[in-house]
Structure 1
């Protein structure tokens, strides 16, 4: 697990570097240089302390002042440069975060647009994609913030070691180095453990809050009292709170114990260094009051620096588990071009012929569709009906070419792949919060905007009242824009149909777009759709049958096979599955 997390951290750092190598380098160069400049600040302090403590007794004030000018200027200059570098780092870091976030989001969008639909529909991959999207943004900003903070702190710790080494205290340098590495390691392990406990407590806390609110909710209490389950909920809440308390107490006790050990190591190191330097104070000119004072203060600040370093590093380590999904999705994006070529050399899709087509998902042994044989002819109005789970939506994805058959083959007008224009109105049609015009032309954005055609479509879809009410095509719909107009569900639905018609495709598919409304209204809408699509090939999907008598041919799906085929009169006369379904639903339409 440790190797995996560290690998994910370095892999994402490499990806960030590849996206913006110059900005990335500058983002970390400035804090690195700023931290190393601390050495010159320490050196200037050593000189100043020695001037005040020793040489002020042997020289006049003017001589001391003249000697102090240079170290004072060095100290002030370092301080000024460090503040300047801090501001520059903040600006560059924000630029890096913005560029990388946009680049990674673009990569994820490429994956979502280019991945094959079977994999895209896979729940495991869908969850992975959502987690990857969650990392981009705040988590990604946090990663660069942690890295910048860590680089600055590490370089300032190096300055302490550098000061000791350049003064000729090699044993002291070794002792300080061991102290920094050991305390940093111990602190880091502690922080990681405490953060893991903190995350567990957070999850438990959500459950505790839910149980607490439930026990205070009037409606919930009324139902609990009805079933005599109040005590059960109280016991659940009490156990959750005790669990939280024990975890928090254990983590706190562990943190205090480790803190004591670290404090002992740091105190012992400082004591050893001071004894060593004080013993050499008289016999070695390199050991001065200034050296002892600055090293002492620097060592005291080590603890705070290590604490400030372990916090971002532990956060980075904890976040690394999320980076696995992002790295995997970004790896997929490398297989795709950032630009999708638009094919404008369309030909008619119709006729479409299915020959012994079967389909199953790669992660399953069960066939969703089996031995499908059907032909969709030009201008035909076809209904595909069946209960939920019969395979209707999968069949549509095969017609669209979004899925490939597991066996058998599909022929699109003598082509192995669909190369024509098709329009689809899905059950969960999208409410695009754009202008009225854009909501329609999205059906075919690859051709010049034709407002005259837009108006024809509006009239055909009975949306002229909406147009006059809005006062134009440029009015924003939805709630994103100030002054945007919210529409009714029926108006949004008509816009989805208008969008499909604007595409001027030779095949239009309606995949249960009216399932959320009552059967009688649905029947009227479907009849209107059949009239609108008089010159088109149209496929209608539904598990309700009141309107199906108006189409040319009906396919009845049951458990992934075509159970029946024919027009309404033929299927009623057969007294089979369709007849049973229609008779069962007939009361809905009275």
Structure 2
């Protein structure tokens, strides 16, 4: 008999949700690093080195070795140059071309080796950047694929994912450049400093002190840019979303039909104008900071050069030593500038890289969550939903309230209700994609909330109403239902025949090897109804004991829809099927029908029982049926 307003199964739900073993709290992914001060730079540099080492240890060693060789070569050039000047300025006047030829040869060989080392380092740096970029992108994908589906309902998670994606693409180059610039600058600086210390230690002290203000100013300017980028994240995502609306094929027809291009473009441009306005302020602040640092550095450098001139004119150093020291001063200034630029670049990258590392630091928690989960049952005789309650993080009210139901193997159970009643949310919980806040879902008495999610989902085939249209080959679109059987051509074609997709797929230019969708050259687009049949074939090919069909015929014509529903028991014999539909006439033959209203099950029973109870189901059924009855 029908049950109206009652509980369908199980004991009273607990007042609070149980602790779910083996599940990662989304807060672990959302938690940012609070301390971003300059004193953290050594630790961030260490993380950058570790990132590069994990991605490409061989290239990192080669590039660093080449930087070291170039630094040693610079020191050798300075010392050989001093010896050459000493020979040329010999007071005895006995210097000849033959006497200075050895120094000239050594200087030429060293210069050639330094040039080659720099060239080889540049090429290794290119490869290192690509390898670090691939590794970084892979880390972001690991988290994005492993985190619970509910994380995507958090705007904060979307913001951090957006920044992690951008930084994984852009920052590896900056990290590689910064690391190698610091390494090269440090080695070169060490070599020049050693030579300058031999020539005149005072010059070394003066020049090193001159570049401290430039470093401090550069660090401050980097923080200003990073703060601007973080504050802009949400606005940039909104602008990117509007750009997608105006440029994607999926929305193009409706944008034009409603004349929305100008309106949405104005919103996009307003966000862009706001970004440019804020960026102008940031650029102005960075210029003022940089100018102050450069003015102080220039003054101190001038003092160093004036000291050198005074020491020469007062006879405190020889002209040969002064010439070599002057060359060292120029080279040291150049290398210090390069070192500061590399350090500033790495500091900037490290701040942005921290967004990336904070995001991927969730991976250990994800691994622990997977390791501590219980094995999932491979199938069930009875699935019981008991007192389930669920609330989306972006909504104040729960989407499901005290939901209870039963589903047995061999049954076709229907779930009906008006839009927004919670049907798809319940389907995602039953599919293992969401975990209820309160209540349990059990397979033969086993609470699946504590099971390994991937193993649980391996036993569920689900088609959502917003199914994915993979712009891959027709064979791929079906084989992705069970990729382990990717080469099972007979099984793929059998699934297509069962869903009614075989005929139109065979008729494509390359049959099942034809690429679907207009995204790539040579692709063939399908009608919405044909795409839906392909999605159904994917679910059939998955061959699971539990099948969830969420509006599986929304895009089918009436004859195809009726044929599909008539064949559901044959297609999914000996399986448990949950059928979600807002078309009441198509679920009449279900073994049991549950009616959802405002997130709660208000009635359940067979079609005849629910019609006899004259509740919400009967009201909605008669309302739909009246559209096909002649009022006269």
2:447 matches 1:409: no
Is the 1:194–1:255 Cα contact (8 Å) retained in structure 2? no
Residue of 476, 494, 506 corresponding to 2:515:
476
2:47 matches 1:16: no
Matched residue, 1:436: 474
2:610 matches 1:571: yes
Residue of 259, 280, 304 corresponding to 1:269:
304
Is the 2:401–2:600 Cα contact (8 Å) retained in structure 1? yes
Is the 1:190–1:258 Cα contact (8 Å) retained in structure 2? no
Query: SS where residue 384 of structure 2 aligns?
Result: strand
Shift of 1:290: 2.9
After the TM superposition, which residues 91-102 of structure 1 pair with which residues of structure 2 at under 5 Å, given as runs?
91-102=123-134
Shift of 1:335: 4.5
2:321 matches 1:288: no
1:229-250: CA deviation from partner (whole Å, max 9, x where unpaired): x9xx999999998877666556
Which whole-Å CA distance do the structure 2 matches of 1:551 and 1:165 have between them? 91
Query: SS where residue 473 of structure 1 aligns?
Result: helix
Between the two structures, name the one with larger relative contact order (CA 8 Å, sep ≥ 6).
Answer: 2
Shift of 1:42: 1.3
2:79 matches 1:43: yes
Residue of 187, 202, 216 corresponding to 1:185:
216
Matched residue, 1:421: 459
Which whole-Å CA distance do the structure 1 matches of 2:232 and 2:486 have between them? 57
Which whole-Å CA distance do the structure 2 matches of 1:5 and 1:387 have between them? 55
Is the 1:50–1:288 Cα contact (8 Å) retained in structure 2? no
Query: SS where residue 430 of structure 1 aligns?
Result: coil
Which whole-Å CA distance do the structure 1 matches of 2:498 and 2:378 have between them? 25
Tell me the TM-score normalised to structure 1 length.
0.81
Is the 1:112–1:120 Cα contact (8 Å) retained in structure 2? no
Is the 1:527–1:550 Cα contact (8 Å) retained in structure 2? no
Matched residue, 2:538: 499
Q: Structure 2: 5+ residue runs without aligned partners? A: 1-35, 243-258, 449-455
Matched residue, 1:382: 413
Query: SS where residue 470 of structure 1 aligns?
Result: coil
Q: How large is the RMSD of aligned CA atoms in angstroms?
A: 4.2
Matched residue, 1:216: none
Which whole-Å CA distance do the structure 2 matches of 1:236 and 1:504 have between them? 48
Which whole-Å CA distance do the structure 1 matches of 2:547 and 2:410 have between them? 10
Shift of 1:314: 2.9
Change (3 A) 1:348 1:257: closer
Greater CA drift, 529-538 or 423-432: 529-538
Shift of 1:186: 3.8
Residue of 568, 592, 601 corresponding to 1:533:
568
Change (3 A) 1:152 1:388: farther
Shift of 1:497: 0.9
> For this pair of structures, how many residues does the alignment match?
558
Matched residue, 1:215: none
Which whole-Å CA distance do the structure 2 matches of 1:477 and 1:235 have between them? 37
Q: Structure 1: 5+ residue runs without aligned partners? A: 211-218, 225-229, 282-286
Which whole-Å CA distance do the structure 2 matches of 1:241 and 1:114 have between them? 36
Which whole-Å CA distance do the structure 1 matches of 2:104 and 2:230 have between them? 48
Is the 1:386–1:392 Cα contact (8 Å) retained in structure 2? yes
Query: SS where residue 383 of structure 1 aligns?
Result: strand
Shift of 1:355: 2.5
Query: SS where residue 371 of structure 1 aligns?
Result: strand
Query: SS where residue 445 of structure 1 aligns?
Result: helix
Which whole-Å CA distance do the structure 2 matches of 1:95 and 1:255 have between them? 32
Tell me the TM-score normalised to structure 2 length.
0.76
Matched residue, 2:388: 357
Matched residue, 2:453: none
Which whole-Å CA distance do the structure 2 matches of 1:157 and 1:235 have between them? 48
